[in-house]
Amino acid sequence: MPTDPFVSSDPQVAPRNEPTLAPGVTLPPSRSWRTDRPGDLAAGVQPRGDLFGSPGPNVGYALGLVHRASATFRLAPGEHREDAEAVVAALAMKRAASFGRGPVAADVERAAALLGYRGGADDDTAARRADAVAGAHHDYGRCRHVADQVDLETLRRP
């Protein structure tokens, strides 16, 4: 196996796991840890409320998944694809985070179907949806508002 020139292949000079302290010197035991820093979550509970979002692992991957799937979205007249992508991505992120995993294509499909972007929405519903998501691509508050209106139990259904 090739090694870098600065890494010795002699096992006698391998890194040791014990500390390299002077004889007679010991490390003190570590101090206790408390959640007293500004960014620490008290009791490990994620806060809930308006504009908090749904933190989860790698939720940004939903943006790429939605962008690929958006070519088949059925938009209302005057509805912008970017606004639809923003709210579908927010819902897909929320769904994935509720399961404690990163987003997958099924999250995007579920979000798009719930919002009627896969068809099945009548003209009146599509027009109201277009009004609700108008500007969501540039307005985080509007995007979060739409995502927060969808019940988590409904979103988690297969």
Helices in 115-157 by DSSP H: which ranges?
123-133, 140-149, 152-156
CA–CA separation, 22 and 16 (whole Å)? 15
Question: What is the average per-residue pLDDT within 140-154?
Answer: 93
CA–CA separation, 104 and 102 (whole Å)? 7
Residue 147, number of CB atoms within 10 A of its CB: 23
pLDDT for position 19: 66
Give 71 or 9, the one with higher predicted confidence.
Answer: 71
pLDDT band at 51 (very low <50, low <70, confident <90, very high): confident
Give 34 or 60, the one with higher predicted confidence.
Answer: 60
* All structural domains of the chain with their residue ranges: 61-156
pLDDT band at 4 (very low <50, low <70, confident <90, very high): low
pLDDT in tens, 19-45: 677 888 888 888 887 777 887 777 767
pLDDT in tens, 67-124: 999 999 999 999 999 999 999 999 999 999 999 999 999 999 999 999 999 998 899 9
| Residue 53 scores a pLDDT above 90 | no
